[in-house]
Structure 1
């Protein structure tokens, strides 16, 4: 547990160094700011819920949460101290590009509004950057707590109204707050992978980790989300390999998981195939539930070179009235080749940071988050606009940040 315990104590008037224990007030404010950022990206959908809210009210709660996050970040960091971050600099370029593209967008008002939200989102991350690189992995802990709260609402909805929670193709969705199955799977997958890695690195006890793994695995299976399962598997393989030499528990876990997985696949190949297909035909599965048809339509799109380069401004990430469901295709539509290039640079930067980072739980968890986001980006949107995926990557960047000390007042 030593990696999670700060080695110094004390409080100052300004943002703490990575080695200084936060006071209760500072920790609470940072946690609330992070929670407000998560609420900001929980898009309110007009679907059936246990307690229905008017769409205008639900949207106002989520969209206004970024202002609350900004206020909280300014309260806890009144001097506006920021930490130099290439990762955040790249997100700033994305935000500026989105703002510039909105100026000539056909949907000027909506594109400008979304670009403004992205600017505020990135500004909050800049204000919280002074807590990157802490030895207690503060932002990871806050992120896990926020996701656990969201998952608690999913469980509550499934208990209160199981018929409503499984109404969409028998896949688990959130019905206290409207959360689609794919996003439920995302939150469960991140909690599952990080819990396993913390346990393998002996940073959490077996009982606590086992409970969290079980509570994350059940909704992941219940959502029938193939991308999330593949992302967890690949992310865990890469993260575990980075720990292979220094952790006996990791080697044993990989051996048991590899052997057990092979046996389970051989014994349960038929039910696994049914679970993967979700009642679809092989052709529907190959077309990724119709996603490839939308991607082909985008590929055939002809537009002026300036829109090809910079996009036409942030949209609801749909095309022709259908969801795009790919970060790469959606970013190309909204932010052009510039956005695609910056998005790729963000992922490449984090991978390079992980390569040069010292071996340990920070690097392993960061690699898991980055690999998971890379896999999910193929069939999910979010890397080019404010989303939980960007929060995942911000946590990864905070874990890979080292070698900085804030000047004490």
Structure 2
């Protein structure tokens, strides 16, 4: 009689499943190249000084040209042009198409149409990467983290080389090799911090990896003095941890320790914390979100034709009367009208609904963190209505919440 082979042993408790190990060397090279090129495309250069005085238009040319490279790499990775139909990308495509159509009637038609074509090409590139959605090896999340590691490393290296230039913008940390403004540095640091903490609590990455990532991102986040990013990271990690609380003993231990640590730190360093949060502003300035609410009020107080109110006036540089809007929802109302606002809200609500119904685990927790962070940051940052790092965050979240596809051959 033939004796059946013994059943494979389950991995010991605490051992990371092989399919979830975040080894960057195993990311498909063309997919990683396409994702990095997309990141460069949305890495909008700020006006802060750099170590090498390169003209800002040259940085802009490199950033815009990288979208062509991203499309080329995505086409090479997905030569059969296979895409995975999904509602999130359908909503994003509808937003891009409507934005381009409205931009044809903008007062500054050339710049507006260019932004519309860029957004459509950006979305097309994301469609080409949908075959890698839902994979157990978390390809897009790992590529996302590699990009954030690279940007944060450039910022920290630039700080070591020229600390005076790094903190030249109102004493807030910015990039000096590539001119990354403080708010963007805070965004990348917050997302790297949150995803590293969650993956470590789920035993997907090692403690050493998590320690380095959390330490580097915390230093950068504090150095930027960006309150929205700090709040978004804290609430996002808290909600993601709550989704894991019942199934992971490490999450329970870390949550209790964090609460105790926050209470002790607040009691011991209250003056320093208040000083950091205030950034030298008065109570009135803080209540007006550093003057942002005045611009928002002016946008909504300006009379507009009914069609402009419904569908916007076309993609712009997210400013009003020469002042930055600094709110995704106000800028979207101006550029894409209530139609664009509704589409973006639907995208976020869809992802939250998918997270609520997804099986408990690291995929759901990381996706929940990314969506919650995007919702909070959208109050004082623009991006969900245009090609931006926030769209890449949401695409990663959607890919984590997607069902598992047939594994591509590459």
- Structure 1 residue 96 corresponds to structure 2 residue 110: no
Q: What is the CA deviation profile of residues 216-275 of structure 1, one whole-angstrom value per residue up to 9, with x for unaligned ones?
A: 100100111100111011101110000011000000111110111112112211111000
Structure 2 distance, partners of 1:33, 1:225, is 29
**Which residue in 2 is equivalent to 1:38?**
39
**Which residue in 2 is equivalent to 1:5?**
19
CA shift at 1:367, angstroms? 0.3
Deviates more, 1:49-58 or 1:350-359: 49-58
- The gaps in structure 2 that reach 5 residues or longer are 1-14
CA shift at 1:60, angstroms? 1.1
- Structure 1 residue 122 corresponds to structure 2 residue 123: yes
Structure 1 distance, partners of 2:291, 2:344, is 24
Deviates more, 1:351-360 or 1:48-57: 48-57
CA shift at 1:407, angstroms? 8.7
Q: The residue matched to 1:178 in structure 2 has which SS?
A: coil
CA shift at 1:49, angstroms? 1.0
- Structure 1 residue 213 corresponds to structure 2 residue 227: no
Q: The residue matched to 2:274 in structure 1 has which SS?
A: helix
Distance 1:23 1:287, change over 3 A: closer
1:212-231 paired onto structure 2 within 5 Å:
212-231=213-232
Distance 1:262 1:22, change over 3 A: closer
1:132-281 paired onto structure 2 within 5 Å:
132-281=133-282
The answer to whether the 8 A contact 2:131-2:405 is kept is: no
CA shift at 1:23, angstroms? 9.8
CA shift at 1:58, angstroms? 1.4
Distance 1:265 1:91, change over 3 A: same
Structure 2 distance, partners of 1:45, 1:259, is 39
Q: The residue matched to 2:45 in structure 1 has which SS?
A: coil
**Which residue in 2 is equivalent to 1:334?**
335
**Which residue in 2 is equivalent to 1:316?**
317
The answer to whether the 8 A contact 2:24-2:146 is kept is: no
1:63-78 paired onto structure 2 within 5 Å:
63-78=64-79
CA shift at 1:47, angstroms? 3.4
Structure 1 distance, partners of 2:80, 2:101, is 29
Structure 2 distance, partners of 1:358, 1:244, is 14
Deviates more, 1:271-280 or 1:26-35: 26-35
**Which residue in 1 is equivalent to 2:390?**
389
**Which residue in 1 is equivalent to 2:306?**
305
Distance 1:407 1:134, change over 3 A: closer
- Structure 1 residue 405 corresponds to structure 2 residue 368: no
Q: The residue matched to 2:129 in structure 1 has which SS?
A: helix
The answer to whether the 8 A contact 1:198-1:204 is kept is: yes
The answer to whether the 8 A contact 1:3-1:136 is kept is: no
CA shift at 1:57, angstroms? 1.8
Structure 2 distance, partners of 1:408, 1:279, is 55
Structure 2 distance, partners of 1:48, 1:77, is 39
Structure 2 distance, partners of 1:232, 1:22, is 24
- The gaps in structure 1 that reach 5 residues or longer are 8-20
CA shift at 1:355, angstroms? 0.8
The answer to whether the 8 A contact 1:193-1:232 is kept is: yes
TM-score normalised to structure 1 length: 0.93
Structure 2 distance, partners of 1:59, 1:23, is 30
The answer to whether the 8 A contact 2:20-2:138 is kept is: no
Structure 1 distance, partners of 2:248, 2:120, is 41
Structure 2 distance, partners of 1:123, 1:338, is 21
**Which residue in 2 is equivalent to 1:11?**
none
The answer to whether the 8 A contact 1:4-1:203 is kept is: no
The answer to whether the 8 A contact 2:48-2:168 is kept is: no
**Which residue in 2 is equivalent to 1:18?**
none
Deviating above 4 A after TM superposition, structure 1's stretches of 4 or more consecutive aligned residues are: 1-4, 21-24, 406-409
**Which residue in 2 is equivalent to 1:288?**
289
Q: The residue matched to 1:374 in structure 2 has which SS?
A: helix
Structure 2 distance, partners of 1:378, 1:67, is 31
Q: What is the CA deviation profile of residues 172-212 of structure 1, one whole-angstrom value per residue up to 9, with x for unaligned ones?
A: 01111111111101000000001000110011111121111
Q: The residue matched to 1:133 in structure 2 has which SS?
A: coil
Structure 1 distance, partners of 2:119, 2:219, is 33
**Which residue in 2 is equivalent to 1:343?**
344
CA shift at 1:54, angstroms? 2.3
CA shift at 1:403, angstroms? 4.4
The answer to whether the 8 A contact 2:344-2:385 is kept is: yes
